[in-house]
Amino acid sequence: MNQLTDTLKFPHVSETQRANLKNYLEQNNANGFEGNSGIVKGNCLEFEFDFNPKSDVLEINPKIYPENLAKLSPEIRNKAAFRLISNIMGGSGALNAMVLASSNGYPSHPGKYGVYDYVIPYIVNSSGLDFTFSSQSMDHGTVSSNLSTVLNTSSTDSVELFEADSSKLSGVGVGGTVVYQWGDGQTIITIQFFLNTMFTHSFTVGAKGPAASKLKIVITKNSPVVSGYTYLDPVITITPA
């Protein structure tokens, strides 16, 4: 956790929106959001707040930011924090029910409390054969879900390949290796990734084996976005070379 000072101003805040924020904070063991002013303290944050009932303006002055936001530049950090709090007050509970313009076109993102970094690749497999999950090895964080079989398709629609999350309240990000085997039983596809805020990230895909030279691998949308938490949603397209 890092001590910082920024002031976030939220205009036209209703009683319902304040109640949504209060409920979210209490559900995540952060207490003190009572009345029109005070200090909220939780496991990974602390902020002062002041609500003006005449103008309906809520001011939040963070004193301690979670590790993932504290590492960002002030401009990006303020935008990320403002959007996260706005989403919570809007009744989303976090970000996972929101359609975000910055989410690379995908309809939702997870928003697990204290989990700051997410790598969620998508894949279009038009290689001619199916892929099957082989193994995974994590340096930081966990793989919370993965697709066991990636079917060959003529469609250009992508499917979610896996979701990798940083550990709760971790400041070291998420990183590891996931391996799939091509349908010939000998060629493997290795995916290596790392994400720790939008300024430190990598995502690579490589093929090794008899058919490696016959596969063309293209990665698009390979830049993270910050929407409260940090997300990397690359799209892997595999076709015959």
Interval 19-65: pLDDT, tens: 989 988 887 788 999 999 999 998 778 999 999 999 999 999 988 88
pTM beyond 0.85, yes or no: no
Q: Set out the domains of the chain in order of their start, with CATH numbers.
A: 2-89 (3.30.310.50), 117-240 (2.60.270.50)
Q: Residue 216 in contact with residue 238, Cβ under 8 Å?
A: yes
- What does pLDDT average to over the chain? 84
Between CA 143 and CA 43 the distance in angstroms is 24
Can you give the length of the chain in residues?
Answer: 241
Q: Residue 152 in contact with residue 130, Cβ under 8 Å?
A: yes
Between CA 70 and CA 225 the distance in angstroms is 16
220 against 228, higher pLDDT: 220
Please determine, for residue 144, whether its predicted confidence score (pLDDT) is greater than 90. Answer: no
Q: Residue 38 in contact with residue 91, Cβ under 8 Å?
A: no
Please determine, for residue 224, whether its predicted confidence score (pLDDT) is greater than 80. Answer: yes
Give the pairing of strands 235-240 and 122-125. Answer: parallel
Between CA 232 and CA 164 the distance in angstroms is 10
Question: Model confidence at 170, in pLDDT bands (50, 70, 90)?
Answer: confident
User: How many other CB atoms are found less than 10 A from the CB of residue 154?
Assistant: 5
The closest of 180, 115, 170 to 149, measured between CA atoms, is 180
Q: What is the DSSP letter of 147?
A: -
Please determine, for residue 175, whether its predicted confidence score (pLDDT) is greater than 90. Answer: yes
For residues 218-230, average pLDDT: 86
